[in-house]
Every structure is written in C-alpha cells, then in structure tokens.
C-alpha cells in the first residue's frame, strides 16, 4: 500500500488525480487544498486543509499523514496575474516548494512537482527534458526557480513538466479553448484566434495518468508529460468547430501582437515525450480524442 498526498486537490489536475487514484486499492490517498474541500464526493480518500504557503501547516500535515509520495499540483498558474502580483506568485511557486522539500526530507517522502513549458523562451520548441531553460515571464521564472530547488535538494524527487492543460473541473469553474470556441460559435460570435503560438495541448486526465505512473514507480528526474500533437490555437479552434459541426467562418486568424497581455508568451514550445513513453509507458490521447472526451463529459 502506497500513501500518496496531493496538494491543490481542488484544482483541475488535483481533481483528476483524486478521480484516478481513489479507486486504486494499492493507494491510500490524502487530498489537501487551501480552502474547503470542493470535490463532489468524499469516498476513497482523506481530506486535510493545507495551505502550501504556510510552512508550519505544510510540516504538520505531512508529518501527521507520513505519505510515501507527495504530488504538488498547487501553484499560481495565471501567467498575467503572476506578472502583476509577483510576491504572491513567488510565495506559491517557490517558497512553498522549499517548505514541501523540507517536509518531505523530514518524512523521507518522494516529491513529484509539476512544472511548465513556460520555463522555455519558445524559440526552438518542441523541447526535450535536458534542453536549457530561459523563461521570458515572471511565471516562467518562478516555476524555473522551483525546479532548481529540487535539483539542488537531497530528497528523492521528480518534475513533471506539462503544456496547456485542458479539461473540465467538477464545478465547471475553469474554461478552456474547446469550451470557449464551442460556446462562442454556438452564440454566433466572431472570434480571433492566434496562429503564431505552438503548443502540445495536454488532456488533464492524461497528465493525471502521467503523474500516477511517476508516483507508482517513484521514477526520479524530469519528465515531459503532455500531448503529442503540435498545434496552434487557430488549428485547435478549427478542430473543435469540425467536431461539434459549428460555423468555422466565425474563426479569424490573428497573431499574438493583436492581444495586449502583461506577460510575454513563448512562441513555440511543445514537448518531445519519448522519455515518458519509454520509461513510464505513458501514452497520451490525441487532441481530437481529447475533444471527444470533453464532449462526453459535457453531456453527463
């Protein structure tokens, strides 16, 4: 029996990990989040409140539950917000990682930390695990700083880097490109979608599976866990319109310069996931399959 503690269990990835692991009889699951538990069920796991930015809380909760593995999905991920609220971003994405490392060390736990393609400048994607980081936003810098804490720590660790995660949360609290395109076109709205940013979009369920594979094997090191299709948002919008049989003429091509956003975005990231496939047996869905899964979830 492996004890796994998840941070950020109210978030999209946190929810998908609880969905996946609560039915695994080889896993004893502890879900933690900053506020009240927002999951729609209470079977199959224990819930504890834990704010990762409060050092005492982190050490107390982890000492109390003594997990074998901690999966840190909690972070400040709004890229523009990180630019305008740097202190909060640093507290959640860097200081909190320090506290988790200390608590994992004290309890001899393996720490799996989530990171991002935004640690790269986007000039030469898709990227392999060993490619050199060069962030161009404060969010990217904070996530890179968090990674470096692990690289220089003396605990057992893994980093799962991911790209443009999409999925549906239980409370529908987050939109994503598929839902946004579907709703806009159904409402007859013209939308401008960028053609000059490239990503390998990641289905939240796939990311959860990748994290579970790392946790199960306690596989150390850095792993790229993303989708495989290198697409720009305009192509994603076209594929969404095709799937739902909506009017594609409402989708207009745009470039990133037409949008004023506080944080710079890397133009072309995306990941080479061959390491995750060979070491972990990770196999993601295609973007088209991802759209079909979301369509099914919306219908429920």
Q: 65-78 pLDDT, tens per residue?
A: 999 999 999 999 99
**73-77, 152-156, 175-179: which range is least confident on average?**
175-179
CA distance 100 to 79: 23
> Which of 188, 115, 189, 106 is closest to 149 using CA atoms?
115
- The yes/no answer on whether domain 2-168+202-228+269-285 falls in CATH 3.40.50.720 is yes
The counts of H helices and E strands in the chain are 11, 11
pLDDT in tens, 205-254: 999 999 999 999 999 999 999 999 999 999 999 999 999 999 999 999 99
Q: At what angle do helices 96-106 and 138-151 cross, to 10 degrees?
A: 20
Residue spans per domain, the chain: 2-168+202-228+269-285
What is the predicted pLDDT for the residue at 93?
98
Q: What is the pTM of this model?
A: 0.98
CB 240 within 8 A of CB 289: no
Q: At what angle do helices 287-299 and 233-244 cross, to 10 degrees?
A: 50
CB 144 within 8 A of CB 135: yes
pLDDT in tens, 13-56: 999 999 999 999 999 999 999 999 999 999 999 999 999 999 99
CA distance 1 to 81: 40
């Amino acid at each position: 029996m492996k004890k796994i503690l998840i941070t950020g269990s109210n978030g999209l990835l946190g929810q998908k990990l609880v969905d996946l692991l609560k039915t695994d009889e080889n896993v004893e699951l502890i879900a933690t989040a900053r506020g009240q538990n927002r999951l729609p069920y209470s079977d199959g796991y224990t819930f504890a409140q834990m704010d990762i930015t409060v050092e005492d809380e982190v050490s107390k909760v982890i000492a109390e539950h003594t997990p074998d593995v901690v999966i840190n999905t909690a972070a400040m991920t709004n890229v523009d917000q990180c630019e305008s609220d740097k202190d909060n971003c640093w507290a959640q994405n860097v200081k909190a990682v320090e506290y988790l490392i200390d608590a994992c060390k004290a309890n001899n736990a393996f720490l799996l930390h989530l990171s991002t393609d935004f640690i790269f400048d986007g000039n030469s994607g898709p990227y392999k695990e060993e490619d050199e980081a060069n962030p161009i936003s404060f969010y990217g810098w904070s996530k890179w700083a968090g990674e470096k804490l692990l690289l220089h720590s003396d605990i057992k660790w893994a980093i799962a880097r991911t790209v443009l995660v999409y999925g549906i949360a239980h409370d529908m609290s987050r939109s994503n490109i598929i839902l946004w395109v579907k709703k806009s076109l159904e409402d007859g709205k013209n939308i401008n979608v960028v053609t000059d940013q490239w990503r390998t979009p990641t289905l939240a369920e796939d990311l959860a599976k990748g994290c579970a594979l790392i946790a199960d094997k306690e596989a150390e090191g850095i792993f790229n866990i993303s989708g495989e299709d290198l697409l720009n948002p305009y192509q994603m919008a076209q594929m969404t319109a095709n799937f739902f049989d909506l009017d594609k003429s409402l989708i207009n091509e745009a470039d990133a310069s037409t949008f004023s956003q506080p944080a710079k975005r890397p133009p072309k990231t995306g990941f080479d996931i061959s390491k995750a496939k060979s070491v972990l047996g990770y196999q993601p869905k295609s973007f088209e399959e991802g759209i079909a899964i979301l369509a099914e979830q919306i219908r429920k």
